[in-house]
Amino acid sequence: MKRNLILAASLVLGLTGTAHAEIGPAEKPDLKLGFIKLTDMAPLAVAWEQGFFIDEGLFVELEAQANWKVLLDGVITGELDGAHMLAGQPLGASIGYGTQADIITAFSMDLNGNGITVSNDVWETMKQQIPDNEDGKPQHPVSASTLKPVVEQYRDQGERFRMGMVFPVSTHNYELRYWLAAGGLNPGYYAPQRGDTSGTLQADVHLSVTPPPQMPSTLEAGTIQGYCVGEPWNQQAVFKGIGVPVITDYEIWPNNPEKVFGVTREWAEENPNTHVRLLRALIRAAHWLDENDNANREEAVKLLARSDYVGADEEVIANSMTGTFEYEKGDVREVPDFNVFFRYFATYPYPSDAIWYLSQMRRWGQIPEAKSDEWYMKTAREVYRADIYEEAARSLIEDGTLSADEFPDLEAENFVRPHQGELIDGVAFTPREPNAYIDSFDIGLKGKESP
């Protein structure tokens, strides 16, 4: 993506630049940031288009990446200065699952934003077990128990029922697993100590990795029977007439954490001013996306539809970005919080977010051995860097860009993310007691068990 030369020239001439005076100049003003073509990369696009990066003295190039592994590798090698990441990626890398690297995040990019879609044939069987609401449409949320007859039919025919997710440490993997297990279906275990990272041991439903933009075509080809992905790729299945989204992640866990902005710890330590300035720009972008009751969303849709950002039809992107979600064709429902970027303190990197992801890594065997509660707490705080976020937030408050009431109390502990609803299975999330939480599930590893 080309830089905005006019704004850059203005900055050089001293005509722009509203950054907080106490933050020093950026150690590295020229930056390349990576992203995947999903609507939740929006804060990066908005920060560029609205001039928020330029305001901070940052000349940013945004570059789409082929998949999450390529993106992570780019950050690790330094080809990218930072990137739009899956919330589990900094954690997975830091604990050495898959790729070992010291990655941190000081910014949560959004809440919610995902859905689970199945093929039309699968939906027709599921639908027979779902009662209608008063409007004659299927009641939501849809339980994965309605998928059991289809899975059993595949098993009786000697076939595997397959579903796609975007990456082993993705929100999508854990949400899909959570939904399946809540409905009595085992999504399988990882056994890295035995060299088995397929995640399909003892699986009723076999999950595999598919890059987000390829989800609809892979479903249409019959390679998978369903998938969990972010937008616009669930709505794309509806528009193409090849699948039906059966549940959103908001229905699985209201206001769940989704993506983060990640950098290496080394980069953050070498470029502290640059990092804070980046965070200031991203916080402002998230605020712009949600301000005045989502008044800017239509403009954001037009922006994201461009090929250098998401590259999907405006109508497809608008279906979720503007507060609605379409399940079956014509079944459009109000979901005002499907995409949340700033409200509910969405941008704050709460340690409880990290603990939930770590608990699911342990539940499914990616963490093969039991860890103490203290280990979860320590790891969460080391990777999810609220202290750096708070520096950026305080500067925005002090210079009058945003008000203090738009952030959590920065003098408080801020350990547990507020404004979250109950998970779909009714199991209470207890982030201060992660082992008790892990042990409370009917399906999943417990105590000292290993896969």
In a domain, 416, yes or no: no
Question: Rounded CA gap, 447 and 174, in Å?
Answer: 19
CA 72 to chain centre: 14
Residues 234 and 307 in one domain: no
Question: Rounded CA gap, 376 and 358, in Å?
Answer: 7
pLDDT (0 to 100) of residue 132: 94
In a domain, 82, yes or no: yes
Residues 221 and 358 in one domain: no
Residues 360 and 238 in one domain: no
Instruction: Look at the chain and report how many structural domains it folds into.
Output: 2
Residues 395 and 261 in one domain: yes
pLDDT over 90 at 319, yes or no: no
Percent of the chain with pLDDT over 70: 95
Which residues span the domain enclosing 140? 114-254
Residues 295 and 282 in one domain: yes
Q: Please name the residues in contact with 308: beta carbons below 8 A apart, sequence gap of 6 or more.
A: 1, 62, 64
pLDDT over 80 at 44, yes or no: yes
Identify the CATH number of the domain in which residue 285 sits.
3.40.190.10
Residues 134 and 77 in one domain: no
> Mean pLDDT across the chain, nearest whole number?
94
Residues 263 and 387 in one domain: yes
In sequence order, what are the beta bridge partners of 138? 132
pLDDT over 90 at 435, yes or no: yes
State the pLDDT confidence band at 7, using cuts at 50, 70 and 90: very low
In a domain, 422, yes or no: no
Residues 319 and 375 in one domain: yes
pLDDT one-digit tens code per residue, 350-360:
999 999 999 99
Measured between its terminal Cα atoms, the distance across the chain in Å is: 45
Last residue of a domain, one of 230, 254, 278: 254
Mean per-residue pLDDT, 23-47: 97
pLDDT over 60 at 445, yes or no: yes
pLDDT one-digit tens code per residue, 237-265:
999 999 999 999 999 999 999 999 999 99
Closest among 283, 261, 230, 274 to 47, alpha carbons compared: 283
Mean per-residue pLDDT, 20-48: 93
pLDDT (0 to 100) of residue 19: 46
In sequence order, what are the beta bridge partners of 260? 85, 108
Give the CA count within 13 Å in the CB-facing half-sphere of 316: 21
Last residue of a domain, one of 232, 254, 276: 254
In a domain, 43, yes or no: yes
- Specify the 3-state DSSP secondary structure of 312: coil
In a domain, 383, yes or no: yes
pLDDT one-digit tens code per residue, 334-350:
999 999 999 999 999 99
Residues 281 and 176 in one domain: no
Last residue of a domain, one of 207, 235, 254: 254
pLDDT (0 to 100) of residue 98: 84
Mean per-residue pLDDT, 69-90: 97
Burial (CB < 10 A; 0-12, 13-18, 19+), residue 391, is buried
In a domain, 166, yes or no: yes
State the pLDDT confidence band at 451, using cuts at 50, 70 and 90: confident
pLDDT (0 to 100) of residue 5: 39
State the pLDDT confidence band at 38, using cuts at 50, 70 and 90: very high
In a domain, 371, yes or no: yes
Question: Rounded CA gap, 117 and 125, in Å?
Answer: 14
pLDDT one-digit tens code per residue, 103-116:
999 999 999 999 99
Residues 85 and 21 in one domain: yes
pLDDT (0 to 100) of residue 295: 96
State the pLDDT confidence band at 48, using cuts at 50, 70 and 90: very high
Residues 265 and 400 in one domain: yes
- Identify the residue with better confidence: 274 or 3: 274
pLDDT one-digit tens code per residue, 359-393:
999 999 999 999 999 999 999 999 999 999 999 99
What is the amino acid identity at position 313? D
pLDDT one-digit tens code per residue, 126-161:
999 999 999 899 999 999 999 999 999 999 999 999
In sequence order, what are the beta bridge partners of 119? 243
In a domain, 393, yes or no: yes
Residues 9 and 71 in one domain: yes
Q: Which residues of 170-197 are buried (b: 16+ CB within 10 A; e: fewer)?
A: bbbbbbbbbbbbbbebbbbbbbbeeeee
pLDDT over 60 at 69, yes or no: yes
